[in-house]
Amino acid sequence: MQTNEKKKVLSCIQPSGMLTLGNYLGALINWKNMQNEFDCTYAVADLHAITVRQEPAKLRQQIYSTCALLLALGIDPANNTLFVQSHVAAHSQLAWLLSCYTQFGELSRMTQFKEKSLKHADNINAGLFSYPVLMAADILLYQPDLVPVGADQKQHLEIARDIAVRFNGIYGNVFTVPEPYIAKTGARVMSLQDPSKKMSKSDENINSWVAMLDSKDDIIRKFKRAVTDSEAKVCIGENKLGINNLIGIYSAITGKSAQDITNEFEGKGYGDFKITVGEAVAEELRPIQEKYNTFIADKKQLEDIYKEGAVKAEYTARRTLSKVMKKVGFVL
């Protein structure tokens, strides 16, 4: 039987700082590319952002800024759903329900929890621990087929799938069990200063990450300073994490293969290569930055868009939540 129904996609991004090239190549580029083929729901995950301490005025600004950047990327709110997570109460409600179907042991094994607990040793709060349950709720409320994320989120997606399978096992088919959608290139962009770590917007060393809103000069300067090795040959290698990362970035942006890139820079030094990568990144981000400036200048328009998005999201989310409540044995 032929059906015209598009497959569903859901993803979220935290407004926890300036979005980086890692966010862009690992996730956002796919958000944009998927919107024509799929029925997409995208949210700004403000509830997740407060698992680490945020300054209120800055957080507010970052929520606006993240919405504006998503629109600048080309996400079309008329054909997709774009909203702010905390505006749809069902996320918090389902998270509580699902937390009663999630084991302490499985949450304790999450790499991100271990890393963030080390980094924020003075604030290892319950939210940081149950972060993956809220993420499972974000996902399962919308019954998506695919969830586009960077490679670092694979473990969280696995737990969302485990929770869905477990719940379905007890109560029948309530949740669609989603598949991760992780692109081959750009899925893990590494820090420019320590290429054994992922590029992260919460890294204190600003030279380690490129923000999507960085100026061309800053972008090129950061690439010029990128940590590499002493071999001076542009090719993939086991002990060449820095160069592997730059090749990955250049490849994700230009579509060229690693071999093509090696050929292109045959006989040239790392200096040339770093500048070429910096310029390619700046050129890729330039039109997005221009559009961003117009979206961020009109708060009223941004508010209208995310409020309308919340109304659409609420409709689907409520349906799933009611179904779950009935299955569990609550009265409606």
Instruction: List residues binding ligand LTN (CB under 6 A).
Output: 10-14, 45, 48, 135, 138-139, 147, 149, 153, 156
Say if CB 201 and CB 20 are below 8 A apart.
yes
Q: Which residues bind to ligand ATP, rule: CB under 6 A? A: 13-14, 16-17, 22-23, 26-27, 149-150, 152-153, 187-189, 198-202
CB of 47 to ligand LTN, least distance (A): 8
Q: Which of 8, 32, 116, 274 is catalytic?
A: 116
Q: How many CA atoms lie within 13 A of 89 on its CB side?
A: 1
Strand runs (DSSP E) across the chain, as ranges?
A: 8-13, 39-44, 81-84, 146-148, 179-181
Residue closer to ligand ATP by CB (options 27, 141) is 27
Residue closer to ligand ATP by CB (options 26, 309) is 26
Q: Which of 8, 198, 222, 240 is catalytic?
A: 198
Single-letter amino acid code for the residue at 32 = K
DSSP per position, 165-189: HHHHHHHSS-S--PEEE--SSSSSP
Residue closer to ligand LTN by CB (options 135, 313) is 135
Active site (annotated) includes residue 323: no
> Alpha-carbon distance 80 to 147, whole Å?
15
Which pair of structure tokens corresponds to residue 98?
């699902």
Active site (annotated) includes residue 198: yes
> Alpha-carbon distance 29 to 104, whole Å?
34
What is the number of the residue whose Cβ is closest to ligand ATP? 26
Active site (annotated) includes residue 327: no
Q: Which among 265, 319, 287 has a CA at the least distance from the CA of 141? A: 319
Interacting partner of 63 out of ligand ATP, ligand LTN, none (Cβ under 5 to 8 A depending on kind) = none
HEC readout, 107-138: HHCCHHHHHHHHHCCCCCCHHHHHHHHHHHHH
What is the number of the residue whose Cβ is closest to ligand LTN? 12
Interacting partner of 34 out of ligand ATP, ligand LTN, none (Cβ under 5 to 8 A depending on kind) = none
> Alpha-carbon distance 75 to 39, whole Å?
12
Q: Which of 8, 32, 201, 274 is catalytic?
A: 201
CB of 104 to ligand ATP, least distance (A): 23
Interacting partner of 200 out of ligand LTN, ligand ATP, none (Cβ under 5 to 8 A depending on kind) = ligand ATP
CB of 220 to ligand LTN, least distance (A): 28
Residue 43 β-bridge partners: 12, 83
Interacting partner of 135 out of ligand ATP, ligand LTN, none (Cβ under 5 to 8 A depending on kind) = ligand LTN
Residue closer to ligand LTN by CB (options 19, 247) is 19
CB of 322 to ligand ATP, least distance (A): 28
> Alpha-carbon distance 184 to 170, whole Å?
35
Residue closer to ligand ATP by CB (options 14, 102) is 14
> Alpha-carbon distance 31 to 283, whole Å?
20
Please list the active-site residues: 116, 198, 201
